[in-house]
Every structure is written in C-alpha cells, then in structure tokens.
A = this chain, B = another copy of it.
Amino acid sequence: MTEVPEPRQFEQTASAPSVRQRVLVNGVESAPISPLDRGLHFGDGLFETIACHAGRPRLLSLHLDRLMHGCARLRIPFRDLAAVRAEIESLAAESERSIIKLLLTRGEATGRGYAIEGLDKAMRITIRYAWPHESPAHGQDGVKVRTLAMRLGENPLLAGLKHCNRLEQVLGRAELARTDAAEGILFSSSGRLVSGTMTNIFIVRSSSLQTPLMDRCGVAGVMRRVILREAARSGIPTQEQVLRAEDLHAADEIFLSNARVGIWPVCAVDERPLAPGPLTRRLQELMRPLLEEPRDA
C-alpha cells in the first residue's frame, strides 16, 4: 500500500468562505417566482449540482446532458442551453471554488391539477454557494456509513433522474442525522441496494467494479458516469447490475461518489470496518486530474 500516493483532491481552499451567494431567476437577479410554479406544487422539475474549481464548472457538458435527458423524459420544454451554459461559466469564474445549483421546473401552471397542458414555459433558478467546509480525512481515510431503515420507492419512469421529488432524501438525511455516520446507505422497497442519500455507491469484488443499476430508483450521478468511463478506459472490469445487502456485505472495497467530493472510500459499514482498498485508491488517482484541473467532460 505504500506506493499509493496520498489523494489530494479533497483539500479545502482558504477562499471558500469569501464566495458571495448569488441567485438568478431566469438569468435575472431577484426576479420574482410565481406562486403557481409547478416546482412548488408538485416538485415538477430537475436539478444539477455542479462543482466549480479554479473558476470553472467541472463536467458541465455531462451535467447539461443529464438535464436535457431528464427534460426529454419528463417533457419539460427547455431550449435555453447556451444561455444556461454561459450563465454557469460566468458565475463560476467569479471565485476559485464554488457550488452552482441549477434548478429547472416546468414553470407556472397553466391550469389547476396535475395535467401537463402543453403551454408550459420552463423556469430556472441558478444559485452559487460557497464550497462547503469538509474534513479532508473523508477522501483520505474514508467515511463511516450506516444502512438506513427507510427504503426508497421504485418507479422506473423516474429512475436515474435528478428530479425535485426529494422527500425521501430529506427523510433519509434526517434518519442519518441520528447516527454517527457521514453518509446513509439506501435500499429500495424490494431490497435492492441503491445509493447514499447524496452519493452513488460502488463495490469492488475480485478486482471488478460494480454499481447498482439505476433502473427502478436512484440518481444516475455524473461522477458515477465518469468513474465507470474512466475505469473501463483503464481496463478495469465494470458492471451496472442488481445488487443486494449480501453484495454490500461481501464487498472487498466500497466507495461513494458525487460531483463535488469525487470519491470517498468507505472505512466502515454499520459495525463492520473496511480498509480503503487498492482499486479505490487507483480510481482516486485516475480521477484526480479531472477534479483538480477541471475539464468540461
């Protein structure tokens, strides 16, 4: 293990607290939001959380690609892609590190009730937050996770999307807050392993990389996609498949991912300790250039 270099991608920058929060509504600061917006009434929207480093949004094309895929699946009419891209790049450029959240809803309801009337005009909110303070130990030593009692509902029509029906994550996070763990592991109603509350999960077995299929629930993370791609390019066998509790318990290595943190090794699942393993370290090294010298995709 001594050959493995220390991962550095989770260092905190001193500039983080100085980032001024900015909020744009359809590109305009302080523009009003309609009380009839379908985002408010039904969670009828999508979002992206984009990590910005060195003044540039990481993996922006992949984020926008997922957003457009979600719009197509939910039939949200959104075409201002160039404007959104420019807006995010401009907000990112104002500080060394920041988190930009893009929220896109179906817009103001044209009628009462659930029906999509076909007259919708999408509404977007773009928010720039400071990069959060977080222990660099999470990336180096790993995080403790707990399996949560709450199970996610399964609906293939919503699976994979980063949509705004997030009450399950709110409740999962509340359950997690009553534990000593950094992240909670979620299973679905039929007993499938899905993800963390804000991360995707990967397990390593016999040197092959496995991650749950996102066909019944869960969010198909942008970082998850990049990890699967980079692993495959490096000759590491990868599989998206149905995984269950027994697979989690039999795993040689476990790690979590999201667009902001990159990769967090897991150092304990419930009462079972686990060492950050060699494949996890190798993938952290593979991802490092992407996280430290942000590229678009």
Report if A174-B116 is in contact (Cβ < 8 Å); known contacts: A40-B40, A103-B41, A165-B167. Answer: yes
Task: Identify the stretch in A42-50, A238-246, A274-282 within 8 Å (CB) of chain B at 4 or more residues.
Answer: A42-50
- Docked Cα-Cα span, A127 to B153, in Å, equals 30
Kindly provide the distance from the CB of A12 to the nearest chain B CB, expressed in whole angstroms: 16
The segment from A54-62, A139-147, A155-163 that touches chain B is A155-163
Q: Check A181 for interface membership: any CB of B closer than 8 A.
A: no
Of the candidates A42, A190, A216, the one having the most CB atoms from chain B within 10 angstroms of its own CB is: A42
Tell whether, in the assembled complex, residue A157 and residue B132 are in contact, meaning their CB atoms are under 8 Å apart: no
Q: Are B173 and A116 in contact (CB under 8 A)?
A: yes
In A29-46, which residues have CB < 8 Å from any B CB?
32-45
User: In this assembly, does A105 line the interface, its C-beta being within 8 Å of a C-beta of chain B?
Assistant: yes
For the complex, is A75 an interface residue (Cβ under 8 Å from B)? yes
Contact call A198/B113, Cβ cutoff below 8 A: yes
A211-239 CB mask vs B (1 if < 8 Å, else 0) is: 00000110000000000000000000000
CA distance A47 to B34 in the complex (A): 17
Chain B residues whose CB sits within 8 angstroms of the CB of A101 once the complex forms: 112
Instruction: Determine if B33 and A173 form an interchain contact, defined as CB atoms under 8 angstroms apart.
Output: no
Pair B217/A153 contact, Cβ less than 8 Å: yes
So how many copies of this chain end up in the complex?
Answer: 2
Q: Is the CB–CB distance between B150 and A153 below 8 Å?
A: no
| B25 x A35 contact (CB < 8 A) | yes
A149 to B12, CA, bound (A): 48
Query: What B residues does A114 contact at CB under 8 A?
Result: 166, 169-170, 172-173, 197-198
A109: nearest chain-B partner, CB-CB? B127
* Contacting residues, chain B, for A177 (C-beta < 8 A): 115-116
Taking a contact as CB atoms closer than 8 A, the residue among B34, B132, B152, B170 that contacts A42 in the complex is: B170
Give bound CA distance, A115 to B99, whole Å: 17
A contact set with B: CB distance below 8 Å:
23, 25, 32-45, 47, 74-75, 99, 101, 103, 105, 112-116, 125, 127, 129, 132, 150-155, 157-158, 163-174, 177, 189-190, 197-198, 216-217
Nearest 8 A/B pairs, CB to CB: A153-B153, A43-B43, A42-B166, A165-B165, A114-B173, A153-B155, A33-B33, A114-B169
Question: Apart from A41-B166, A114-B197, A157-B171, what are 9 other A-B pairs with CB-CB below 8 Å?
Answer: A39-B40, A99-B112, A112-B129, A112-B132, A116-B173, A153-B154, A154-B154, A165-B166, A165-B167
Please list 16 pairs of residues, one from A and one from B, whose beta carbons are closer than 8 Å in the complex, sorted by A's number. Answer: A23-B36, A25-B35, A32-B33, A35-B127, A38-B170, A39-B40, A40-B40, A41-B103, A42-B169, A43-B166, A43-B167, A112-B129, A115-B177, A116-B170, A116-B177, A154-B154
